[in-house]
Amino acid sequence: DAKTTQPNSMESNEEEPVHLPCNHSTISGTDYIHWYRQLPSQGPEYVIHGLTSNVNNRMASLAIAEDRKSSTLILHRATLRDAAVYYCILRDARNTPLVFGKGTRLSVIA
Amino acid sequence: GAVVSQHPSRVICKSGTSVKIECRSLDFQATTMFWYRQFPKQSLMLMATSNEGSKATYEQGVEKDKFLINHASLTLSTLTVTSAHPEDSSFYICSARTQTGQNQPQHFGDGTRLSIL
């Protein structure tokens, strides 16, 4: 899987929007962009994924750059429960297993 | 949504003991299951991939005789840490996926924290 680069940590105020960036300059045409998050002492949780177009679901939005070399996970209103490590992962269409990088540790301040 | 149940959530045992961890998909058939390990303040590391009814595929550096994986049914996979030692203490997480549809999400259990004394 192609490599992704994320900031080590970010901080947000409660009820503010959060934009979590991810760079993936070596992405291939068949790589999907996946986002997962891991709350403390739990297994990862699926957040969202996309290929080319922006995606929205009840948890978040995914904005994908036109050249697909970067993407941004958007949490529209951060809550204390959103404090977690967020992983941006590329996975090809062959459904290979997810390979986790270091992710971004998001802290939410009340 | 799809639920993966992992049991036990925590194990504390003496060095030399073998420990079995169960991973069940509760509301879907998991043709493929994955086992990960996570050390404190580190990311998840893939240990092995198992497909129902066949032998698991282990990642480089993971001893298959040390970490025995069985995936005998579409809803159950087990990981047995044989003759566990303190260096095997870690957070073990299973994950499951159906084969239907392209690029389906992986669903994760809540992990098993293994502490070897």
Sign of the Cα pseudo-torsion (A82, A87, A92, A95, in order): negative
Tokens of A102: 């270091």
CA distance B3 to B105: 12
B45 touches chain A (CB under 8 A): yes
Q: B3 to each of B30, B46, B95, B109, B111, how far by Cα in Å?
A: 11, 20, 10, 8, 13
CA distance B77 to B96: 9
Is residue A102's pLDDT more than 60?
Answer: yes
Query: Is there a contact between B97 and A34 if contact means CB atoms under 8 Å apart?
Result: no
CA distance B46 to chain A (A): 7
Is residue A1's pLDDT more than 60?
Answer: no
B107 touches chain A (CB under 8 A): yes
What is the residue-wise DSSP string for B88-115? G-EEEEEEEE-SSSTTPPPEE---EEEE
Give chain B positions within 8 Å (CB) of A43: 4, 6, 93-95, 108-111
CA distance B22 to B97: 16
B117 touches chain A (CB under 8 A): no
Q: For residue B6, what pLDDT is reported?
A: 96
B9 touches chain A (CB under 8 A): no
Q: Over the stretch A12-67, which tens digit does the pLDDT of each residue have?
A: 999 999 999 999 999 999 899 999 999 999 999 999 999 999 999 999 999 999 99
Which residues, listed in sequence order, are joined to residue B90 by a DSSP beta bridge? B114
CB A42 within 8 A of CB A81: no
- Chain mean pLDDT for chain B: 92
Q: For residue A2, what pLDDT is reported?
A: 62
